[in-house]
């Protein structure tokens, strides 16, 4: 079976549903531009999503055809995103991660402050913080939209809000997709670049 790089995204239900979906899509699209095989989808176990209740989105990246397309959860994510830093407290956001993974969090807080809330932080090799909300000038709630759906054509441009600076931040520590391809695939190109420029990386 091909080696598959798993990405898990944590977001808030309804209010960040589109943002989470756009992050998984822009990651998959950027990786595809680099010649990778990809898959992006919702976590059906979290449906129907409820307002503010944490939910997950997923992405897979591989150099070869992905054979496990009908396994609906990522068991061993190597890269985890958190779109709302309050999710870090009280939830095992690193579930299934093997030692040596990476966490990217949308936050103005320091890495040390957030790491104090993560009991299994020893699994991490890299921790990245980026003020994605500040970069886009809001929380992302202004982009709440119910028109797009998994597997369909998005009714709005992909990665206008939080997804843009967050994928930009991830390009600083992940070699599965490049900054150039992330910029090419995202609607908010300036936010991708700003995310890459301002993200703070802490090696553990």
Stated as kind and residue range, the H or E segment containing 31 is: helix 17-33
Asked whether residue 146 carries a pLDDT value surpassing 60, the answer given is: no
Joined together, the tokens standing for residue 105 give 């969090």
pLDDT at 147: 47
pLDDT at 142: 47
pLDDT tens-place string over residues 61-102: 999 999 888 888 999 999 999 999 999 998 999 999 999 999
Q: Which domains does the chain have, with CATH numbers?
A: 4-203 (3.40.920.10)
Stated as kind and residue range, the H or E segment containing 48 is: none
pLDDT at 48: 66
pLDDT tens-place string over residues 95-138: 999 999 999 999 999 999 999 999 999 999 999 999 999 999 86
* Higher-scoring residue by pLDDT: 164, 152: 164
**Is the overall model pTM greater than 0.75, yes or no?**
yes
Asked whether residue 155 carries a pLDDT value surpassing 70, the answer given is: no
Residue for token pair 């390009």: 171
* Higher-scoring residue by pLDDT: 78, 14: 78
Asked whether residue 20 carries a pLDDT value surpassing 80, the answer given is: yes
Q: Identify the CA nearest to 159 among candidates 59, 16, 42, 22.
A: 22
Stated as kind and residue range, the H or E segment containing 59 is: strand 54-62
Burial class (CB in 10 A: 0-12, 13-18, 19+), 184: middle
Mean of pLDDT values over 47-68? 88
């Amino acid at each position: 079976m091909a080696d598959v790089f798993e990405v898990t995204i944590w977001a808030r239900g309804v209010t960040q549903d589109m943002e989470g979906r756009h992050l998984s899509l822009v990651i998959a699209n950027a990786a595809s531009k680099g010649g990778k095989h990809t898959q992006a989808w919702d976590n059906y176990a979290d449906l129907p999503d409820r307002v503010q209740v944490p939910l997950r989105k997923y992405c897979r990246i591989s150099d070869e055809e992905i054979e496990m397309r009908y396994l609906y959860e990522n068991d061993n994510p190597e890269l985890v995103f958190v779109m709302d830093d309050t999710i870090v407290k009280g939830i095992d956001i690193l579930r299934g991660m093997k030692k040596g993974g990476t966490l990217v969090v949308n936050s103005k807080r320091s890495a040390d402050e957030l790491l104090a809330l993560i009991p299994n932080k020893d699994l991490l090799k890299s921790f990245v913080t980026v003020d994605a909300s500040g970069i886009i000038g809001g929380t992302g709630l202004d982009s709440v939209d119910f028109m797009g759906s998994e597997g369909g054509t998005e009714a709005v441009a992909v990665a206008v809000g939080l997804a843009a600076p967050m994928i930009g931040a991830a390009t600083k520590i992940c070699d599965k997709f490049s900054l150039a391809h992330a910029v090419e695939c995202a609607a908010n190109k300036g936010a991708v670049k700003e995310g890459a420029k301002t993200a703070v990386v802490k090696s553990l």
